[in-house]
Amino acid sequence: MNNIKNFIYTFKMFKQSCGFLALIKIILELITMIKVFVEVYFVSLIIEEITQSISNTTNIFNIFSTKLIILGLIMISLTIISSISQVVDDICSEKMQRYLRLQTIKKVSELGIDNFDNPSFYDNINQTIINSRNMDNLVSDAVTLGVTLVCTIVLFIMSFMFNYYIAIIILILSIPVYLVEKKYYQIIYSWEELELPVEREIGYITNILTNKNWAKELRFFNMNHEYMDRYNEKTKKYIHEKTRILKRKGIPMSAISIVNSIVQISIYIVTGIIIINNYSGSISIFYYYSALLIKLFSYTRQLFACGGRFHGYNDRINRYKNFLCKNDSLKIPNEESIVIDKINSIKFEDVYFKYPGNEEYTLNNLSFEINSSEKVLLIGDNGAGKSTIIKILLKFYRVNDGRVLINNYPIEQIVTESLRNQIGVIFQDYCIFSDTYSYNIALTKEYNQEEMKKVTSQINLSNIVNEWPNSYETSLTKFFDVDGKELSGGEKQKIAIGRCLYKNSSFLVMDEPNSSLDLKTESDIYNIVLKENEKTLLLISHKLSKITNFDKIIVLKSGCIEAVGSHSQLYNCNQYYKELYDLQVKKFTQEGK
């Protein structure tokens, strides 16, 4: 029953991905099936005509009777259709693989970011992509199976009428192919599950050796040879295991091939004896029936081979379907119901949080409040949990205990899209896309040019951008465009800040926005965001610049709130904050800043 469900599911995917071509493919395959019988009859007819022509000593050109010419034209037409069918098959295969891969990518994009903390998740993605290719093979095999089944039935009936012993023996001798194919696909499926981490590691090493991000380190530290050795080691292990699996199929299949050759020779001998005894040794009849029996043997083996492979396909389709049905652990159906058009308040109440797979809590009994239009600075040592707070606010993770309230509503009840629409964010590990400057700011191909010009000026990039030949439409990075612009670390950070400013949101979240900025740009950026009177600001920073301009400072230590207050309050009352501030003042003094 499960096999049938998976079969129907796969053909549904086939229809969705290929549209009308799916029907055309099936029709062409059915038409091509006729070629099997026409070919046998056509050749036997030619042999018969030639035999009669020789025995009657008539002109050899007399063999071209009307029947023969018509059959010849049919054969040519079927050959053309067969070629067209192959082209359609290739197109359908490409369309279906792309469609199934798109469904995988779409599903990954819908799942919570917490999934990426689990290494097995990457294996599941790779396995699903592999399974999508197998589903494409299933469609091809299924169509082939349908056509083969019809051909086999017809050939069996015709062969049975000639000699039922031979027809039954051929059927029985084809069964081992089914058993070998079934066993092989069970083995290869289990092996793929075990080898996925190795294959993923090979992909990771390949990416390191071919990606610009690692190029400088590899060359400077002379690490190319080390990673090449690792690549060779993993690849050799992979190939060794794959070879071992293939041998387990190859050895019995070789034995089957020997038997097949013996069977084909036997068919010719036995058919010849029968023809001599019952049909006066007619060469055309000998060819006709021997060809039928050989094709019956070929089609029964193909039929059983497809049947054996279907067991392997069934496991893969189940895994593919399970991945697409995977639920987002951060979402509960019908839980999100509240749409917000502005963030007026944020409250963390007794929040506990630990990352998946971790034993220790990153946030411990965390409580604080941010009100509308407040400018709040969040400081603390590395690993104190500052960036984690942002991830929770953006609903990338769900807290283990306690509550997060937005406008006094539990964050789980707020529609995620409406929440994120109200937040402009700079991530600490922001990305620069290999696209135009304008796209990297607006994150869309269509943008407001006046707003783009304003933001570019705010982040002090106007002079640079205006010098570029294509201005805002200049490509960043040389990944796709040889004339693309490579930016410095500070320029990239300015773009990340511009991205945050361009978005018309009520709440700005900036995680270390000044780490790569010069003092003047840093001061200018602070002046801009601190003057946004109607916007709420949460800024995470190790640099305590403009510290007196913030309404509130939250000091985080080891996942706990150490203190909350203004600069003067904290400096006079909290030793930890005083030490942080004095150390930075000392640093700036020593550096002459």
pLDDT at 297: 84
Pair 536, 391 in one domain = yes
More confident residue, 49 or 388: 388
| Percent of the chain residues topping a pLDDT of 70 | 86
Residue 209 scores a pLDDT above 80: yes
Pair 406, 270 in one domain = no
Cα(492)–Cα(328) distance, rounded to whole angstroms? Answer: 32
Mean predicted lDDT score pLDDT of the chain: 80
What CATH number did the domain enclosing 373 receive?
A: 3.40.50.300
Six token digits for residue 491: 């320029």
Pair 211, 231 in one domain = yes
Q: Which residues contact 341 (CB under 8 A, 6 or more apart)?
A: 418, 422
Strand, coil or helix: 76: helix
Q: Which residues contact 498 (CB under 8 A, 6 or more apart)?
A: 441, 455, 456, 458, 459, 461
Choice among 60-64, 141-145, 398-402 with the minimum mean pLDDT: 60-64
Pair 287, 371 in one domain = no
| 109 found inside a domain | yes
Pair 425, 439 in one domain = no
Cα(168)–Cα(565) distance, rounded to whole angstroms? Answer: 91
Six token digits for residue 172: 């029985």
| Percent of the chain residues topping a pLDDT of 90 | 9
**Which backbone phi and psi does 332 adopt, to 5 degrees?**
-115, 125
pLDDT at 591: 55
| Letter string b/e over residues 562-580, b meaning 16 or more CB atoms within 10 A of that residue's CB | bbbbebeebbeebeebeeb
Given a contact cutoff of 8 angstroms between Cβ atoms, the answer to whether 279 and 253 are in contact is: no
In the chain, the amino acid numbered 370 is: I
| 457 found inside a domain | yes
Per-residue pLDDT tens over the stretch 284-315: 778 778 888 888 888 888 877 777 777 667 77
The full 3-state SS of 51-70, as one line of letters, equals: HHHHHCCCCHHHHCCHHHHH
Contacts of 541-547 spanning 24+ positions with Cβ under 8 A:
541/377, 541/378, 541/379, 541/510, 541/512, 541/513, 541/514, 542/379, 542/512, 542/515, 543/514, 543/515, 543/584, 544/377, 544/379, 544/580, 544/581, 544/584, 545/514, 547/377, 547/581
pLDDT at 291: 81
| 495 found inside a domain | no
Structural domain count, the chain: 3
| 193 found inside a domain | yes
The H-or-E segment that residue 339 falls in is: none
pLDDT at 522: 73
Pair 42, 94 in one domain = yes
Residue 386 scores a pLDDT above 50: yes
Cα(47)–Cα(158) distance, rounded to whole angstroms? Answer: 20
Q: Most confidently modeled of 234-248, 426-440, 531-545? A: 426-440
Cα(31)–Cα(33) distance, rounded to whole angstroms? Answer: 5
Pair 220, 350 in one domain = no
Q: Most confidently modeled of 8-12, 198-202, 253-257, 402-406? A: 402-406
Q: What is the CA radius of gyration of the chain?
A: 36
Q: What's 547's DSSP letter?
A: G
Q: Which residues contact 354 (CB under 8 A, 6 or more apart)?
A: 360, 361, 362, 363, 400
**Burial category of 97 from C-beta neighbours within 10 Å (exposed 0-12, middle 13-18, buried 19 and up):** middle
Cα(337)–Cα(577) distance, rounded to whole angstroms? Answer: 41
pLDDT at 593: 47
pLDDT at 48: 66
Choice among 188-202, 456-470, 553-567, 575-589 with the minimum mean pLDDT: 188-202
Q: Which residues contact 517 (CB under 8 A, 6 or more apart)?
A: 490, 493, 494, 525
Per-residue pLDDT tens over the stretch 221-248: 788 888 888 888 888 888 887 787 777 7
Q: How confident is the model at residue 369 (pLDDT cuts 50, 70, 90)?
A: very high
Residue 51 scores a pLDDT above 70: no
Q: How confident is the model at residue 279 (pLDDT cuts 50, 70, 90)?
A: confident
> pTM score, two decimals?
0.70
Neighbours of 392 (CB within 10 A): 21
pLDDT at 453: 92
Choice among 30-34, 376-380, 437-441 with the minimum mean pLDDT: 30-34
Cα(493)–Cα(517) distance, rounded to whole angstroms? Answer: 7
Mean pLDDT of 139-144: 70
Domain boundary among 271, 294, 324: 324
Residue 335 scores a pLDDT above 50: yes
| 273 found inside a domain | yes
Cα(22)–Cα(9) distance, rounded to whole angstroms? Answer: 14
Pair 239, 281 in one domain = yes
| 500 found inside a domain | no
Domain boundary among 260, 292, 324: 324
Cα(164)–Cα(147) distance, rounded to whole angstroms? Answer: 23
pLDDT at 439: 92
Q: Most confidently modeled of 85-99, 307-321, 432-446, 511-525? A: 432-446
| 41 found inside a domain | yes
| 462 found inside a domain | yes
Pair 400, 521 in one domain = yes
Per-residue pLDDT tens over the stretch 107-128: 888 887 877 777 777 777 777 7
Cα(438)–Cα(363) distance, rounded to whole angstroms? Answer: 37
Q: How confident is the model at residue 403 (pLDDT cuts 50, 70, 90)?
A: very high
Q: Which residues pair with 426 in a beta bridge?
A: 510
Cα(459)–Cα(472) distance, rounded to whole angstroms? Answer: 14
Q: Most confidently modeled of 80-89, 254-263, 302-311, 329-338? A: 80-89
Domain of 473 in residue numbering reads as 433-486
pLDDT at 352: 93
In sequence order, what DSSP letters do the residues of 199-238 get, joined into one string?
HHHHHHHHHHHH-HHHHHHHHHTT-HHHHHHHHHHHHHHH
